[in-house]
A and B are shown apart, each in its own frame.
Chain A
Amino acid sequence: MTIVKISDDALARAGGADKLAAAFEKKGCEVHRTSSWGMHWLEPLVEIDGKGFGPATLDDVDAILDGSSDLGIGVIEEHPFIAAQTRLTFARAGKTRPLSLEDYEAHGGWSGLKRARAIGPEAIVQEVLDSGLRGRGGAGFPTGIKWKTVAGAPGPKKYIVCNADEGDSGTFADRMAMEGDPFALIEGMAIAGEAVGADQGYIYLRSEYPDAIRKLNAALALCADIIAPFKCEVRVGAGAYVCGEETSLLNSLEGKRGEVRAKPPLPALEGFLGRPTVVNNVLSLAAVPHILMEGGAAQYAERGIGRSKGTMPIQLAGNIKHGGLFEAPFGMTLHQLVNEIGGGTASGRPVKAVQVGGPLGAYLHPDQFDIAFGYEEYAGVDALIGHAGITVFDDTADMGEMARFAMEFCAAESCGKCTPCRIGSVRGQEIIDRIRAGGRKRDDLELAPQMHNTKKNAGRSVEEEIGLLTDLCETMKFGSLCALGGFTPYPVMSALKHWPGDFVSNPEAVEKALDAAE
């Protein structure tokens, strides 16, 4: 019987994979619902004997089976998009059925956990330290150091919390990992539990990912005996972006408003319910089983550049021809990622801007496409790699509008705890509106005789407004409690700096004002 592989990833399903699978079954084929290879422009992708056909519709079923289909892409593993990758975290992507324990074991599953149990807590932490793994959620804090802190913290009860609140636009690697390889995440959490002496884990998963919730719950039920005495539970978020921030996430997990906590105390010492807690991103934890395999840490550490070690699952999104998941060692340039691998824009128009790292990441100009992909390298140009989502925009994008949206988003999602973020974001929207309207006139209140300090004879010029915006962004950057308010200035100021023509009719005025503000 012909074995047909079709992904049951949410994106493939949204593209009609369920109906497609049913159609192949009706034709007498054995259909395996596997994880996704991550070539999203080809989803739903049909795989028969290692060869791929996509994007397939119901009309293509007969042609694919009788060999006359023109959707063929050849052998999937040899496809340039796949062959160019180094898949460690996503080694099983496209190959296994997500909820099959048999498939997971056959592809190296649980060997990391077995070895971890054999070598003991101290050696586990040492291996993670040696691998150079840094938090994949965005901040890039060394995972091993975090684990060491929790392991050394006093307390009878400790927790492993997985941050699966992947709210950044342009990112979907967490979703793909949870839907495609749920056991890998659970294994990573069990290893973390072993390392720090925690027997309870929580996965805080956003409500926007119904497929991931369903699959992780099913996976946890299947592997409960394997990870025991470690226990783990899925907790569903409630639509708050800010809960991706670790302290806000912990509050939410405790059943409180998702407001950010001031640090210190660090969650590693006083986290969930005031007890020592490891809070790690999905990708950090999913990378751990590989690292704990024999020689895995060394394999990880020898890849990458500078202090950015190992591989990063990069997500190519937005207006890009070949969008999807691309896991590669650190060090690639945006030119390689966007133009060569991504094939440029989906619309065929020139690339105007690329936002790296989600809604809080800077907009990068094609002139900056030669920067190497790494934490320090990006920080050096006032940008961040964040969760490694790359959103591409073509030349129809209005960067003034995108800058305004960054402030609008911050205002909508601010938890409200600190003033720079709560109020600054609203004022930011207003200032950007005024810049785009060419400055403003004095209002009635300011003209009142009681307002001694306001100028009565002139409005505020665009230059003055830009000065204000720069000042506001400084305040938000250094005065906010967390990255939401603290990083919103990145997209705003980068858009203003690189595309002043999208804000005002005379771009020179912006340059002059920015120079003056510095």
Chain B
Amino acid sequence: MSTKNDRIGEIVAEHIAKEGPLLPILHDVQEEFGCVDAEAEAIIAKGLNLTRADVHGVVSFYHDYTPEADPRPVVQICRAEACKARGVESIIGDAKAAAGERVKIQTVYCLGLCSAGPAARTGDDLHIRLDKEAVTKLVENA
């Protein structure tokens, strides 16, 4: 536990001189621990001289921060208008079937690949022109 405390302390120290340091800190904590849990919120709050409620309010506002770590691989699939126009809704069932309990299928709104959808993201890799076969393969290899 103390290692987590120390590590978050380091992250806070790294960003504290910035104007508006909270989001960069939360990004690093999410990246390192896979979540920003209540314990992390308390440590960050102490480091920035904020209340835990302040920090929790921010953490819970944004989609990118999660209260619990999810060890499953994530496949983000865009379901915004442009990808809908290119048929994402007809392949989402295949993605979910291929995912089962093993892979997390997450809906995102827009990856900026709107002329070549349906689009998906795994980690920092992007995927375009997905059809039923391609999305199934993508999820199976996630």
**Interface residues of A, Cβ cutoff 8 Å to B:** 10-11, 13-15, 40-41, 43, 166-172, 174-175, 200, 207-211, 233, 235-241, 252-259, 272-273, 315-320, 323-324, 346, 355, 358-359, 389, 391-394, 397, 402, 405, 409, 412-413, 415
Contacts and interface: CB of A to CB of B under 8 A. Distances in A.
Given A257-B57, A391-B81, A252 B112 contact: no
Nearest to B54: A256
- Most chain A beta carbons < 10 A, residue from B24, B83, B115: B115
B27 interface: yes
A365 to B, nearest CB: 15
A355 B81 contact: yes
Nearest to A319: B85
Given A15-B128, A254-B20, A255-B23, A238 B62 contact: yes
Contact of A169 (B19, B114, B124, B127): B114
A272 B19 CA distance: 9
Interface in B76-120: 78, 80-86, 108-117, 119
B110 A208 contact: yes
Contacts of A171: 110, 112, 114
B63 A238 contact: yes
Interface of B: 18-24, 26-27, 57-58, 61-65, 78, 80-86, 108-117, 119, 121, 124-129
Nearest to A174: B112
Given A238-B62, A238-B63, A14 B126 contact: yes
9 contacts: A11-B126, A14-B113, A15-B116, A43-B116, A166-B110, A319-B86, A391-B82, A391-B85, A412-B109
Nearest to B58: A257
Contact of B62 (A254, A258, A392): A258
Contact of A255 (B22, B121, B129): B22
Contact of A14 (B20, B24, B82, B116): B116
Given A170-B81, A171-B114, A358-B81, 4 more contacts: A10-B113, A319-B85, A391-B85, A415-B61
Nearest to A342: B115
Contact of B84 (A211, A236, A324, A405): A405
B126 to A, nearest CB: 4
Nearest to A317: B114
Contact of A405 (B58, B65, B81): B81
B115 to A, nearest CB: 3
Contacts of A166: 110, 112
Contacts of B127: 14
A172 B108 contact: no
Given A175-B112, A258-B62, A236 B85 contact: no
Contacts of A168: 110
Contacts, number: 156
A241 B27 CA distance: 17
Contacts of B86: 318-319, 346
A405 B117 CA distance: 18
A240 B114 CA distance: 19
B72 to A, nearest CB: 18
B83 A169 contact: yes
Contacts of B83: 169
Nearest to B128: A14
A392 B85 contact: yes
Nearest to A322: B115
Contacts of A207: 27, 64
Given A235-B24, A252-B23, A11 B81 contact: no
Given A11-B128, A172-B115, A409-B109, A359 B80 contact: yes
Contacts of A170: 80-82, 114
A171 B119 CA distance: 14
A40 B109 contact: no
A11 B117 CA distance: 10
A253 B20 CA distance: 6
Contact of A239 (B64, B82, B115): B64
B18 to A, nearest CB: 8
B115 A324 contact: yes
Contacts of A359: 80-81, 109
A389 B61 CA distance: 27
Contacts of A272: 19-20
Contacts of A239: 62-64, 108
Nearest to A214: B124
Contact of B23 (A208, A210, A211, A238): A238
A318 B109 contact: no
B109 A209 contact: no
A317 B114 CA distance: 5
A208 B112 contact: yes
Contacts of B27: 207, 236, 238
Contacts of B111: 208
Nearest to B107: A412
B110 A255 contact: no
A76 B111 CA distance: 27
Contacts of B84: 397, 402, 405
Contacts of B114: 169-172, 315, 317-318, 323, 389, 391
Contacts of A174: 112
Nearest to B113: A11
B58 A255 contact: yes
A168 B32 CA distance: 29
B9 to A, nearest CB: 18
A41 B64 CA distance: 31
Contacts of A355: 81
A373 B60 CA distance: 40
Nearest to B48: A255
A258 B22 CA distance: 12
B109 A315 contact: no
The 9 closest A-B pairs by CB, nearest first: A323-B115, A255-B22, A169-B80, A239-B63, A317-B114, A238-B62, A318-B85, A14-B126, A238-B64
Contacts of A255: 20-23, 58
Nearest to A242: B61
